Amino acid sequence: MDARTLTEQVLKRCELLSHCTDVPGQVHRLFLSSATRAAHRYLTDWMKEAGLEVRVDPIGNVRGIKRSKNPQARTFLVASHIDTVPNAGKYDGTLGVLMGIALAGLFRAEDLQHHLEIVAFSEEEGVRFQQPFLGSSVLAGTFQSDWLKKKDFENQSLSETLFKWDLDQNRIPIEAFEPRELLGYLEIHIEQGPVLADQNLPVGVVSGIVGQSRLNLTFLGQAGHAGTTPMPLRKDALTGAAEFICWTEEYALSNPGLVATVGKVEVRPNTSNVIPEQVTVSLDVRHLSDEKRVTAVQELLHQAHMICQKRNLGLQHEFPLDQQAVICEDRFMEALLDACKFCGLPEFTLPSGAGHDAMVLAKVTDIAMLFVRSPNAISHHPSETVEPEDVEAALKASGHFLSQILR
């Protein structure tokens, strides 16, 4: 493997795809937009150059396969996504897809004991129809037919969008893999966080994807005149919410591996001279251990009730999301760590605090992930970046990993 040449190729292609955009001057590529069609043309050509049979499936995933001659062969998937958030960076998702294509070109079909399929998922972020992981859910057999009714910002349904793309929604169910058909799944992705940069490491083997609970808590008080209501007689919903927010931070800091975030606050009546009557806050709680995450949520809710009782406030809450953690397969983790060692790279593991297509595929096969350092720890932003030497390291490690799995 000429890893340096492959690195140059991958980064050049990331740059080319960044110009497939719905908003000139930004990386802004939504699910099944005109920019996606332009990206598909590039991906199709590059997959064919790598010796892959290429097709676009009914949800718009671009899929290239190199088939083994082995009649008992199963399929090993290497995948990530090509859709972006608005005004995004060049590498989130896209880097993993292009590295997969580059690596596929290194293997001859006659040397493969298993099929190798590279997938560019059409939708992971969930921006256009407010439903993430559409692409990977089709392969995992978890796509829900009701999602076809979801509408975008122009009031166009997902079903109508697929029709305009000449994609047959009736074929979506037959694209689902049976577990017996799959050997495993690898996703290469930028870390989108500071851990590898803090440790001065080029790559890291992912141990699992954290579970996530999302809640909305509403603190209920009493509106009143800001000038005439004495402080001891107030039922201020905002001060109660503020106390809870500060307590949440302290609690998360005291529990290793736990992250808890209040990212959204809605205040009513939201007027400078009126005591806040109602405050709704979001709460995002994540941990690799589902048991510890659930315990944390219970403790945070208990504390919220205690704060409200002390302040004579009411409290309501709802759970929009409760997602279990996904653990990466031990044998794949060991194989990736061995590949790092073989390539002279440090052996380091870390959890993923963000969701990825890998957690969807985990429902039907064993998964592995390799993170590439984010030098400035910034993602979902134009300043997202990677270092060429880190991409080269990831190509070497994942190439060795695949050679051990497929041959």
pLDDT value for 332: 98
Contact 78, 118 (CB under 8 A): yes
Reading the block at residue 320, the tokens are: 């929009």
Query: DSSP string covering 328-356, please?
Result: PPHHHHHHHHHHHHHTT----EEEESS--
11 and 101 both lie in a single domain: yes
320 close to 282: Cβ distance less than 8 angstroms: no
Cα 280 to Cα 11, 242, 262, 277, 300, distances in angstroms: 43, 11, 10, 10, 15
pLDDT digits (tens, 9 = 90+) for 27-58: 999 999 999 999 999 999 999 999 999 999 99
Strands 265-268 and 203-209: unpaired
Q: Is 51 helix (H, G, I), strand (E, B) or coil?
A: coil
On whether both 26 and 143 belong to a single domain, the answer is yes
Residues 6+ apart with CB under 8 A from 190: 91, 92, 95, 371, 372, 373, 374, 379, 384, 386
Which of 60, 65, 35, 54 shows the shortest CA–CA distance to 124?
A: 60
CA 246/CA 288 separation, integer angstroms: 23
The boundaries of the domain holding residue 253 are 211-323
DSSP 157: B
Q: Are residues 317 and 340 in the same domain?
A: no
Whether omega for the bond prior to residue 382 falls within 30 degrees of 0, making it cis, is: no
Q: Let me know the angle formed at the C-alpha of 281 by 278 and 282, rounded to the nearest 5 degrees.
A: 155
> Would you say how long the chain is, in residues?
407
Residues 265 and 342 in one domain: no
Do 31 and 176 share a domain, yes or no?
yes
Pair 266, 383 in one domain: no
127 & 261 share domain = no
Residue ending a domain, choose from 323, 356, 371: 323
- Structure token pair of residue 308: 């409200």
Residues 250 and 109 in one domain: no
Among 323, 348, 374, the domain-final residue is: 323
Q: What's the CATH code of the domain at 181?
A: 3.40.630.10
Answer yes or no: do 22 and 92 share one domain. yes
Find, among 62, 65, 128, the residue nearest to 97 by Cα: 62
Give 223-255 as a DSSP string: --BTTTS-GGG---HHHHHHHHHHHHHHHHHTS
Residue pLDDT, tens place only, 195-251: 999 999 999 999 999 999 999 999 999 999 999 999 999 999 999 999 999 999 999
Tally of domains in the chain: 2
Q: How many CB atoms lie within 10 A of CB 216?
A: 15
Report the candidate in 139, 138, 157, 137 with the shortest Cα–Cα distance to residue 148.
157
Q: Return the pLDDT at 102.
A: 98
Are 69 and 154 found together in one domain?
yes
* Mean pLDDT taken over the chain: 97
Domain with residue 314: its CATH number is: 3.30.70.360
Query: What does the pLDDT look like over 73-131, one tens digit per residue?
Result: 999 999 999 999 999 999 999 999 999 999 999 999 999 999 999 999 999 999 999 99
Q: What is the pLDDT of residues 362-407, one digit of tens each?
A: 999 999 999 999 999 999 999 999 999 999 999 999 999 999 999 9
**pLDDT given at position 156:** 97
> What is the rounded (10 degree) CA torsion for 124, 128, 131, 135?
-40
Q: Is the dihedral of CA 401, 98, 328, 384 positive or negative?
A: positive
Answer with the one of 295, 323, 351 that is the final residue of a domain: 323
Q: What is the pLDDT of residues 261-314, one digit of tens each?
A: 999 999 999 999 999 999 999 999 999 999 999 999 999 999 999 999 999 999
In a shared domain, residues 303 and 314: yes
d(CA 263, CA 220): 19
Residues 25 and 171 in one domain: yes
CB-side exposure of 234: number of CA atoms within 13 Å? 19
Residue 323: the pLDDT is: 86
**Residue 338 burial class via C-beta count within 10 angstroms: exposed 0-12, middle 13-18, buried 19 and up:** middle
pTM, full prediction: 0.89
**Closest by CA position to 56, among listed 115, 119, 103:** 119
Q: Is the dihedral of CA 85, 90, 91, 95 positive or negative?
A: positive
